[in-house]
């Protein structure tokens, strides 16, 4: 359901929305640990409970501190749905965009062999936000 350009643009736009909604724009540590993949399936390989239909699924996996409250999750769901709307072919229905936010358990978010707790991630993000002179 994504346009050719949409396949290339969706992930950078979703990442930018997540960083913005998280209030971490410009934070080098936070930005460096945000990434993802795009999986494009033929429409005939996408099914829901009521049968085959052209659903675009955005699945966001985060540590337990990511989008920590209902308001931030709702803001991301709305932003992600708007992004999909901009990048899909004509006729894609908004109701066929599903967004899921999945949070890892504390200590279940690993990067480079390090299992981060929420507190450790907050400390790393805060350290990256400190002015250079304070480091």
Q: What pLDDT shows up at residue 133?
A: 47
Provide the percentage of residues in the chain whose pLDDT is more than 70: 97
- pTM score, two decimals? 0.87
Q: What pLDDT shows up at residue 44?
A: 87
Say how many CA atoms lie within 13 Å of 30 toward its Cβ. Answer: 25
Kindly tell me the burial class for residue 110, based on how many C-beta atoms sit within 10 Å of its own C-beta (0-12, 13-18, 19 or more).
Answer: exposed
> What's the average model confidence in pLDDT over 121-135?
78
Asked if pLDDT for residue 72 goes beyond 70, the answer is yes
């Amino acid at each position: 359901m994504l346009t050719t350009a949409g396949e290339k643009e969706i992930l950078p736009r979703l990442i930018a929305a997540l960083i913005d909604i998280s209030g971490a724009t410009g934070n080098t540590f936070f930005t460096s640990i945000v990434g993802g993949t795009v999986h494009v399936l033929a429409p005939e390989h996408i099914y829901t409970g009521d049968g085959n239909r052209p659903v675009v699924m955005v699945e966001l996996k985060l540590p337990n501190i990511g989008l920590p409250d209902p308001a931030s999750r709702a803001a991301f769901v709305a932003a992600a749905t708007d992004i999909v709307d901009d990048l899909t072919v004509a006729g894609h229905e908004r109701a066929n965009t599903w967004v899921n936010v999945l949070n890892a358990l504390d200590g279940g978010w690993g990067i480079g062999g390090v299992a981060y707790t929420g507190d450790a991630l907050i400390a790393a993000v805060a350290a990256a936000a400190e002015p250079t002179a304070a480091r």
